[in-house]
Amino acid sequence: MNKQSHPTMAPNHPLITILVALLVLAGMVLLAIRPSGEADPSTDGTSVSSAEEEAPPPAEGEPDGLTVVDAADVVGVEEAELAYDGGIPASVAYPVIPNAEPLADFLERELNDEAHAFEAASPGAVSFEAEWNLTAAGGGLVGVRMTRVETDSEGPKEGYTTYWYDTATAEHHPSTALVAGQEELERLNTLVREAVGNGDGGSADPDVIHPISSLYDSMGFNPGGDLVVEFDAGQVAPVSEGRTYAVVDAEEAGALLSELGARVRDAATVGVEDFEVSAPAQTAGNGGGDGPGVGELYPVDDGVDCSDPGTKCVALTFDDGPGGRTSELLDVLAEYDARATFFLTGHPVMEHPHTVRRAYAEGHELANHTLNHPDLAGLGTGRVRSDLNTVQALVYRETGYTMDLMRPPYGSTDDGVASVTADLGLAQILWSVDTLDWKDRDASVVRDRVLKGASDGAIILMHDIHGTTIDATHTVVGELDARGYTMVTVSQLLGTTTPGEVYVDRVPDVSEEDV
């Protein structure tokens, strides 16, 4: 049905809808005239072989969207309303399905967290709404697609997340679990970029699409079995374009799917009648401990061991950004397979979310440098907490990553900051080499200071908001590489850090007296 040789990114064209409707009708006619008892030879292994069974009704939905299951076809489903405990009005509904209570519990927690993250990340937050629909029910699976509307001072913005629930194990899965692994997600990302690049509709930018969980959090199948990837308004195209999506041909997508993904596809491509969830065989649910999921990246996983005396590690760190030329710095780092750490402040994150996602996707470490860059010492723990929390929420919403390092502006910290950061799970990272690049806007001066200061275990402070610093990195990164340095993230350099503790280089500094 409507097989495309290439993935497409197209608006919901009425002609396509009509064609599909005609094809569906034609298929129904064929089914009707086929002698009863004869298996349909066109389906693969899932055909109805018994003369007693009736063919299931066709799956419903549009070719550019996820399959739509009428909730009335799921036995006993009810709607619950979230009792939101935050500070803005929230109107959030989610499904409660008999024998699938762990799903409802998960949705309640998740939506509450999402509303809190929106509120924390958006000083102008006005309201949070969410409604649900089912996108598969069968084969031991339920798919729940949430549509959120987040309203802030700039108006409403729509976003989507789709969760998958296994009724036998009582486990819930994110959409990234539909693909077999990170490599498959990367291949899917290439297909999606192609679809966007070839697209005759929408002005989404292929270059801002990366294989990370926050971008691939709403995936499923259309009734024909093609994989549909959808993006929130404003995520990869201007907000005014609303939902953007890519459809990846069933055959191409099939090779990338996990076992769960193949089961979901099978469930989403047949119609639903009186689906009933039986009590789960296991009740363990999501026990965790499975390591990072697909699309969740950690800045430490590439096998560099800085404690090895044969490895000379240096951590380049960039504060106060990202800036307009940070992508240029990312190009240079990529050229030398070098990693860096970006201590982000809030407003630049809001201004350059694509750069934040790219840095994350390319293996750099993201760390918290506060929302408004205040001197935290003596500020009061309430304000320190809310300032840091805002940036945690901002970065989490863009990337799905929870940062575990922070840098106090001006290196200024005290016991109150130590206690708040300990509580928030953030280690305090200072530096051992200060390039003073904010003061001396001269690329050759900055370069000389980096090269003079570099030593095994050093943490070097720079600011990627200054053009002269970006200019300096063009030669510095290559020169450090030539001198045998491995440029690593702070977490690669330090290994496991203790929240609240202060570090200036590879040896933890517990005295806190150096500022």
Nearer to Zn ion, 114 or 320 (CB): 320
Nearer to Zn ion, 202 or 409 (CB): 409
| Torsion of the alpha carbons at 289, 93, 148 and 399, rounded to the nearest 10 | -10
CB of 410 to Zn ion, least distance (A): 7
List contacts with Zn ion (CB under 5 A).
Answer: 319-320, 409
Nearer to Zn ion, 336 or 438 (CB): 438
Nearer to Zn ion, 320 or 437 (CB): 320
Give the up-direction half-sphere exposure of residue 360: CA atoms within 13 A in the CB hemisphere.
Answer: 31
Which secondary structure element, helix H or strand E, spans residue 25, and what is its range?
helix 14-33
CB of 461 to Zn ion, least distance (A): 9
Instruction: Give 186's contacts (C-beta < 8 A, 6+ positions apart).
Output: 211
CB of 472 to Zn ion, least distance (A): 17
Which secondary structure element, helix H or strand E, spans residue 477, and what is its range?
helix 467-482
Three-class DSSP category at 156:
strand
Nearer to Zn ion, 373 or 383 (CB): 373
CB of 360 to Zn ion, least distance (A): 20
CB of 428 to Zn ion, least distance (A): 13
- Burial letters 340-361, b for 16+ CB under 10 A, else e: bbbbbbbebbeebbbbbbbbbb
What is the per-residue DSSP string for 99-136?
T-HHHHHHHHHHHHHHHHHHHHH-TT--EEEEEEEEEE
Among 262, 258, 274, which Cα is nearest to 46's? 262
Which residue is closest to Zn ion by CB?
Answer: 319
β-bridge mates for residue 226, sequence order? none
CB 421 within 8 A of CB 501: no
Q: Which residues are catalytic?
A: 319, 463
Strand segments (E) across 391-469: 405-406, 427-429, 433-434, 458-463
**Residue 35: DSSP 8-state:** P
Task: Give the pairing type, strands 433-434 and 458-463.
Answer: parallel
CB of 343 to Zn ion, least distance (A): 7
Nearer to Zn ion, 171 or 319 (CB): 319
